[in-house]
């Protein structure tokens, strides 16, 4: 059974799809854009002869973006995950960012590319940029799948951006609400009744 057919079937029997009010970015658009981003990144790091590129994805939200984008990168890369907590449980407003556990050790002299699911207040990426800079890498860049059009409590530069989106709480393609909806293959907005008061 091909992918499209499988998707149609899944939707027809869909449980989580029923909680989605609107699809903001569909699977095909995501696939195209992720490929473009990978092409750009591949070009920018084409000089990386010494396998110095380390991708640092922010878990859990970046897992799907990570899996898709690294398959399109031709480099011999390392992947070192970090966990940052910012939206505990069913909260939909940022409560500040905190590193969970420790940073990977081997970042000195490397080209670090931080990968996150979404830029919202800027606290997560800001914190990680600071912490990673302290490890004296050769370079640090950031790549976010989504960038929300909203005021930032911390201004951070993103070198690579998948999509700019309006200031709404979104789920899918790795992004959760209270731990759910990460497995949606597209980005959508929840129905109001899906969000706890
Ligand atoms: P920031 O620290 O920039 O405020 O927030 C970044 C983190 O907050 C993201 O990595 C993500 O985990 C979470 N986040 C921000 N906006 C959204 C959103 O619209 N939906 C979901 N599911 N998570 C979000
Ligand atoms: Mg996150």
Q: What 8-state DSSP symbol labels residue 11?
A: H
Q: Is 68 a catalytic residue?
A: no
Q: Angle 63-70/27-44 helices, nearest 10 degrees? A: 60
- The finding on whether 145 has its CB within 6 A of some atom of ligand 1 is no
| 121 in contact with ligand 1, CB cutoff 6 A | yes
| pLDDT value for 140 | 97
CA–CA separation, 124 and 120 (whole Å)? 9
User: Which token pair is 21?
Assistant: 């009010």
Q: State the closest ligand 1 atom to the C-alpha of 124, by its place in the atom list counted from 1.
A: 2
Per-residue pLDDT of the chain (197 residues; tens, 9 = 90+): 677 777 777 766 767 888 999 999 999 999 999 999 999 999 999 986 777 999 999 999 999 999 999 999 998 999 999 999 876 666 676 667 888 888 888 899 999 999 999 999 999 999 999 999 999 999 999 999 999 999 999 999 999 999 999 999 999 999 999 999 999 999 999 997 655 54
Distance, in Å, from the CA atom of 15 to the CA atom of 19, rounded to the nearest integer, reads: 8
Predicted pLDDT of residue 197: 44
**pLDDT for 15:** 77
- Ligand 1: atom nearest CA of 127 is 2
pLDDT at 146: 98
Atom of ligand 1 at shortest range from CA of 61:
12
Q: Is 25 helix (H, G, I), strand (E, B) or coil?
A: strand
Residue 183, classified by CB atoms within 10 Å of its CB into exposed (0-12), middle (13-18) or buried (19+), is exposed
According to DSSP H, which parts of the chain are helical? 3-12, 27-44, 63-70, 123-133
Q: What per-residue confidence (pLDDT) applies to 85?
A: 82
Candidates 100, 117, 149, 176: which one to mutate for ligand 1, based on the most atoms within 8 Å of Cβ? 117
pLDDT given at position 88? 61
Residue-level pLDDT at 16: 81
């Amino acid at each position: 059974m091909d992918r499209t057919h499988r998707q149609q079937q899944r939707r027809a029997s869909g449980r989580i799809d029923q909680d989605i009010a609107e699809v903001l970015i569909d699977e095909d658009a995501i696939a195209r854009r992720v490929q473009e981003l990978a092409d750009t990144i591949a070009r920018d790091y084409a000089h990386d002869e010494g396998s110095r590129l380390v991708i640092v994805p922010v878990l859990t939200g970046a897992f799907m973006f990570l899996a898709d984008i690294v398959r399109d990168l031709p480099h011999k890369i390392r992947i070192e995950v970090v966990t940052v907590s910012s939206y505990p449980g069913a909260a939909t407003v940022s409560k500040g960012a905190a590193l969970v556990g420790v940073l990977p050790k081997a970042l000195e002299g490397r080209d670090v590319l931080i990968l996150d699911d979404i830029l919202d207040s800027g606290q997560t990426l800001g914190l990680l940029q600071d912490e990673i800079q302290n490890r004296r890498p050769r370079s640090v860049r950031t790549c976010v799948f989504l960038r929300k059009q909203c005021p930032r409590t911390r201004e951070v530069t993103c070198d690579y951006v998948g999509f700019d989106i309006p200031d709404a709480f979104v789920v899918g393609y790795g992004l959760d609400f209270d731990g759910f909806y990460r497995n949606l293959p597209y980005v959508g907005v929840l129905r109001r009744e899906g969000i706890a008061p």
